[in-house]
Amino acid sequence: MTGSEISERAVSYWNSSPKQAKALVRPRSTEEVQAALKICHDFGQSVITQGGMTGCVEGADSSPENVILSLERMTQIEDIDEIGGTATVQAGTVLQTFQETVQERGLYFPLDLGARGSCTIGGNAATNAGGINVIRYGMMRNLILGLEAILADGTIVSSMNHMLKNNTGYDLKQLFIGSEGTLGVITKVVVKLERQPASRVTAMTALPDFAHVTKFLGHCQKELGGMLTAFEVMWGDHYRAVTEPGWNKSPMDRSHEFYVLVECEGLDSDADSERFETVMASALEKEIIQDAVLPKSEKERRELWEVRENFEAVLQNDPALLYDVSLPIRNMSAYVEEVQQGLKKQWPQSACYVLGHIGDGNLHLFIAPNSMDADLHGRSDELVYGPLAQYGGSVSAEHGIGTEKKKWLKHSRSEVEVEIMKSVKRTFDPKGILNPGVIFDLAQ
């Protein structure tokens, strides 16, 4: 594609401006990706790899001098091994399509995130996506057994391992996972599958303060053990914003300080529901939680998840700046208070909406400065990232660095680490044509 065919498309999920590039290529196979990359390599042409364009750090955004390589035509699920519990899937396959396909075979791919209807398996691998089930199943890295990637010069790196155990030298696939398209284009992935769980039980709960949230996490971990799949927290202000009339339906009183959506997966529908209800009841009795709503149908369960996943109401603020940080759970409350105080001092009219995959030590903040000041983003970054070091946190939990956070990389990585990353990049992509300027600038 060239010209208006490109500009008719949006930059990304987050940015509706027209997409810009010299050309957009849509290969159908590994060999076509290889051919496209060889040509670009010969000409020293920069290439931006795109999956579902839901990434949160502008890693797949293109400018007019780039060629975009889109995986949108590489959507085949090549193989499902029901005995071994693995699948081989092309990188452009949409996550939800893949989840539904394996579900028809009684299997389960546990990576799950709000962008499931658009994000791709290749994008999930390239960003090492996390999401809502990490507390039990880990991030994308934990689910990948093998992959195929094409280097900048067209070399095919086939690392299509299907086994859990394979200690034969360096595990090269790990380098591509989370490398945000800077080391190679991922064309296929071999993933681990679970058996479809027989039961899924869920509750939305309300709590008076953060100390009770951590107590509740401990209670659920102790009483529900390995069944615990999701433990998603929303600060009261976030909950109220997303359940304003006209947005999501609130299943309970909206005036609580904290809300936690908790979910378990298990093997025995009746026994699991009974156990889950007993655990929620004991949390109420012990006054760890103030209220709990348990859905009576799949529709009601989905409505609870909508409250957590549909944050359109918050995005009505212009701008609403999204952050993704991680830090030890015990430091979260103090950290959020510090950020909120800093914001109020800077912009008294600002709002800060906080939620997160708290069991993973991961918080998301939406910051609405509600101000016309210059450099809102830069100043907001200082307020969010500045205090992280003292709390032992990281500037990116699951979204990656992209171009948006590269200034902050050194906040979470030592100089030696960044230098090693750069030397790996130079080895894999000596001309620097793949996603230039993503994660770091080579020249600096």
Ligand X SMILES: Cc1cc2nc3c(=O)[nH]c(=O)nc-3n(C[C@H](O)[C@H](O)[C@H](O)COP(=O)(O)OP(=O)(O)OC[C@H]3O[C@@H](n4cnc5c(N)ncnc54)[C@H](O)[C@@H]3O)c2cc1C
Give the residues lining the site for ligand X (CB under 6 A).
13, 49-56, 59-60, 71, 91, 113-115, 119-120, 122-124, 126-127, 129-131, 180-181, 185-186, 398-399, 435, 438
| Whole-angstrom distance, CA of residue 373 vs CA of residue 379 | 10
The answer to whether residues 399 and 326 touch, using CB atoms and an 8 Å cutoff, is no
- Smallest distance from the beta carbon of 133 to ligand X, in angstroms? 10
Smaller CB distance to ligand X: residue 181 or 342? 181
Closest contact distance (angstroms) between CB of 277 and ligand X is 28
Q: Is residue 174 a contact partner of residue 128, using CB atoms and an 8 Å limit?
A: no
Comparing CB distances to ligand X, the nearer of 283 and 307 is 307
| Greatest Cα-to-Cα distance within the chain, rounded to the nearest angstrom | 69
Minimum distance from CB of 302 to ligand X (Å)?
Answer: 15
**Least distance to ligand X, CB of residue 208, Å:** 26
Q: How far is the CB of 172 from ligand X (least distance, A)?
A: 15
Q: Which is nearer to ligand X, 289 or 394 (CB)?
A: 394
CB-based contacts of 324: which residues, under 8 Å, 6+ apart?
56, 362, 363, 364, 396, 397, 398, 399
Identify which of residues 175 and 334 has a Cβ nearer to ligand X in the complex.
175
Q: Compute the distance between CA of residue 354 and CA of residue 325 in angstroms, rounded to an integer.
A: 11
* Residue with Cβ nearer ligand X (56 or 234): 56
Q: What minimum distance in Å lies between the beta carbon of 426 and ligand X? A: 18
Distance of alpha carbon 143 from alpha carbon 140, whole angstroms: 5
Return d(Cα 44, Cα 433) in angstroms, integer: 7
By CB atoms closer than 10 A (0-12, 13-18, 19+), residue 253 is: exposed
Nearer to ligand X, 86 or 435 (CB): 435
DSSP code at position 277? H
Number of residue whose CB is nearest ligand X: 123
